[in-house]
Structure 1
Amino acid sequence: MEDESPSTSTSSHEGDPTRSEPKWLGFALHPKKRKSFVTPKLVEELERAGFKMKQLDPSKPLEEQGRVDVLLHKMTSRDDWSKRLENYAKEHPRTCIVDHPDDIAVLANRMTMLRPARKARLNTPAQFLLESPECAVQEALETRGMKLPLVAKPLRAGGSSGSHTLGIIYDQQGMKDLLDGKLEPLRPPVVLQQFLEHEGVLFKVYVLGDTVQAVHRPSVHDARLKNKAKETCTTESEKGNSFINRKVEHDLGPGEKEVAKSSEHEEPHVQMWTYMSRTCPNGEKPVGLHVQMPPQEKLIKIARKLRDVLNLELFNFDLIRCREHLEEGERDVYYIIDINYFPGYSKMPGYEKAFASFLKSYVEGEKENSEKRE
């Protein structure tokens, strides 16, 4: 990875981003994201594809940071970023920006996140926004045909603090604990989503333009987490919390670990989950989860529909498979339960080569579109 002095560079709109000489890929990412994503292997693959990488400083004017042929970004915590990027795009029309901030913003809020999926006629669980403890919860549930157990998720998504924590609310006591603010970091406003039995596994489907690849990930097995687990309990009485932290290490194979919180009752009112590691190495199935991967053509079809309606190139979605019992037998029904922008591609086997290939195709496609407009 190299840097280019602003004083010696040409501006991005003065160069052709598809010429044979190396193209400058500027990236603006949070430090944690940058560390996991920008690896030596990725830099190597991008150089083979004709790109040189340069780190952009989001606190400084982009115009002062040299030539940028392709701009990659995920800066959700900067309120002014969208406007600055929009202005930069107008001044530098030849720069390929992946993706537009307005399209990304839809996925930062879990109440807007699944609307595009429903627009594309894809299945999603029923859900509603619990804005405050004073909300008429029971009435809202009945109106939407929802019932316990429910999944409680933070309203804010996109990698913000606590955004990957969820709670399974089993009963009225669990709901009371949520409303009373006892389930940190889950406090209203939170999204309540209908829990659907899905055999203890979800499929995390990564999308890189036309590339679609899925991996298994462990999930809640059923409404009472009826799986064999090794449990070590640590009380949190010093925090004034009536809950017990249970570190649950399911026999899921290497790389799989979950953390759960439950009450002291034999059957908990709430289970709090934070996934410490989300996939098995090399895309292998977690031990004990004998669930078939959905057909690749099914995944591609869903991904294309989402890509069209989201107008995004870099995202993944969590897919669960539910068994529907009919008189003539059973059938599989797939539900999208979460969508994330610019996810942790480092968990996708072989992401470096796939990303370089995507970027090359994306730039070539943008060139063709530009020539048609001209």
Structure 2
Amino acid sequence: MSSPRFRIGYALSLKKERSFILPSLVDYAKLHGIDFVRIDPLLPLTDQTPFHCIIHKLYDPSWVQQLQDFTSQFPDVVVVDPPELISRLLNRDSMLEVVKEVKVPQGDERIETPKQVVVNDLDVVLKNGLNTFSDLGLKFPIIAKPLESNGSAKSHQLCLVSNDSGLKGLNAPIVLQEFVNHGGVVFKVYVVGECVVCVTRKSLPDIGPEDVKKLDAVSSFSQISNSGAQGDDEGNVEMPSLEFVMHVAAGLREATGLRLFNFDLIRDSNDHNRYLVIDINYLPGYAKMPNYEPFLTKFFLDVVQNRTVGGAFSSSYVNENEVVFC
């Protein structure tokens, strides 16, 4: 008797499909009984069945409504993840609010978020400069991020602002966020159901008082990255403790209700027990994660075979600059 096969429908932009549904994933999953099926969001979902599971990253209201209608008609088809839960991550203000719900055991390591404020009217800010938010303790340099975080090219236009003049080039609505020196390294933590993988990536270098004076009024992240400024050597970076990463990942999974996401974690250069979550992304670039094919395949098998996908992490190990729980 042949083993059962499972159809995983995916509704993604062409760009996301090309970066996520790679031949290596399709081939690996096929060997383990999973077939990926492209969903056309312009056609009725009911005409494209059967599906055992649907993954998606489209935000058009008509698609969201169609997906909701479909799940009402076919409640046994698992949707990863519900649109109403994903929507919380599409706004950089509400996105980091979930971090406040994360509880980690009392110890040396702490989890926080950077100070930030949403600006809807730039005229008010331009009149008084950063003094407008003196009560928050924001000071230059600051990071300016579009309020929306929907995966569009515009949502990725992040920049570093070094003085009041730099504020003039911004467009509201925008988030002004505290810049915290973090050794030029970010810990990218990928969550795939019960599994979490933590890897290091290069980030913005530390900026001292004298460095601020040398910066342009406003600089895109790509400008700074290409300037040759150096942070810590990734190969010599001390990873966060296994237990700490586990608790933060599990806490965010519970707070968001999501099963496929990643978050960016930095460590304060002036306080190595202070960690900050600076970004959370739904259905991120998993292909950049080491061995993403078996992780994703295991996750989908867990989902379609009705195995637990919300339990505790286990079987941890470390491989140099990589931390894995599964």
Aligned 8 A contact 2:201 2:234 in 1:
no
Q: Does 1:173 align with 2:165?
A: yes
Aligned to 2:255: 309
TM-score by length of structure 1 reads 0.72
Tell me if structure 1 keeps the 8 A contact 2:120–2:174: yes
Offset from partner CA, 1:224-264 (integer Å, 9 cap, x none): 6999xxxxxxxxxxxxxxxxxxxxxxxxxxxxxxxxxx9xx
Alignment partner of 1:24: what SS?
strand
CA distance in 1, matches of 2:222, 2:209: 15
Give 1:354's aligned residue: 295
- Matches for 1:291-330 after TM superposition, within 5 Å: 291-324=237-270
Aligned to 2:112, what secondary structure does the other structure show?
coil
Distance, in Å, in 1 between the alignment partners of 2:150 and 2:287 is 16
Distance, in Å, in 2 between the alignment partners of 1:210 and 1:82 is 26
* Long gaps (5+) in structure 2: 104-110, 226-230, 311-326
Q: Distance in 2 between matches of 1:367 and 1:224?
A: 47
Higher RCO (CA < 8 A, seq sep 6+): 2
DSSP-derived class of the 1:114 partner: helix
Q: Work out which of the residue numbers 121, 124, 128 in structure 1 matches 2:113.
A: 124
Which of these residues, 27, 49, 52, is aligned with residue 44 of structure 1?
27
Match of 2:78, as an amino acid?
C
Q: Indicate the structure with greater strand content.
A: 1
Q: Deviation at 1:294? A: 1.4
Structure 1 residues 267-276 or 147-156, which shifts more?
A: 267-276
* Cα distance, 1:156 vs structure 2: 1.2
SS at match of 1:113: helix
- Report the alpha carbon displacement of residue 129 of structure 1 after superposing the two structures with TM: 0.7
1:269 match: 217
Q: Secondary structure at the match of 2:158?
A: strand
Query: How far is 1:79 from its partner?
Result: 2.0
* Residue pair 1:164, 1:274 contacting (<8 A) in 2 also: no
CA RMSD of aligned residues (A): 2.8
Could you say if the C-alpha distance between residues 312 and 302 of structure 1 is closer, same or farther in structure 2, counting changes exceeding 3 Å? same
Q: Cα gap change, 1:101/1:188 in structure 2, threshold over 3 Å: closer, same or farther?
A: same
Change (3 A) 1:276 1:96: farther
What aligned pairs does 1:14-163 form with structure 2 within 5 A after superposition?
20-76=3-59, 78-121=60-103, 122-136=111-125, 138=130, 140-163=132-155
- Percent identity for Structure 1 against Structure 2: 35
Q: Deviations over 1:292-351 (max 9, x none)?
A: 1212222111100000000000000010001445xxxxx421100000000010110110
Offset at residue 267 of structure 1 (A):
3.5
Q: Tell me the distance in 2 between the aligned counterparts of 1:42 and 1:311.
A: 25
- C-alpha distance in 2 between matches for 1:276 and 1:345: 25
Give yes or no for the alignment of 1:204 onto 2:199: no
Q: Do the aligned partners of residues 368 and 188 (structure 1) sit closer, same or farther apart at CA in structure 2, a change above 3 Å counting?
A: closer
Matched residue count: 294
Alpha-carbon distance, 1:51 to partner: 1.3
Q: Is the contact between residue 190 and residue 261 of structure 2 (CA under 8 Å) also seen in structure 1?
A: yes
Separation in structure 2 between the aligned mates of residue 31 and residue 267 of structure 1, nearest angstrom: 37
Alignment-derived partner of residue 202 in structure 2 = 218
Q: Classify the secondary structure of the residue corresponding to 2:236.
A: coil
Q: For the Cα contact (< 8 Å) 1:26–1:54, is it kept in 2? A: yes
Q: Is the 8 A contact 1:165 1:274 kept in 2?
A: no
Whole-Å separation in 2 of the counterparts to 1:34 and 1:190:
29
2:143 is aligned with what amino acid?
A: V
Q: 1-side partners of 2:157 and 2:8: how far apart?
A: 33
CA contact (8 A) 2:183 2:232 kept: no
Structure 1's 92 and 288: CA in aligned 2 closer, same or farther, altered over 3 A? Answer: closer
1:364 CA drift (Å) = 2.9
Rounded to whole Å, the distance in 2 between the matches of 1:129 and 1:42 is: 39
2:102–2:248: 8 Å Cα contact kept in structure 1?
A: no
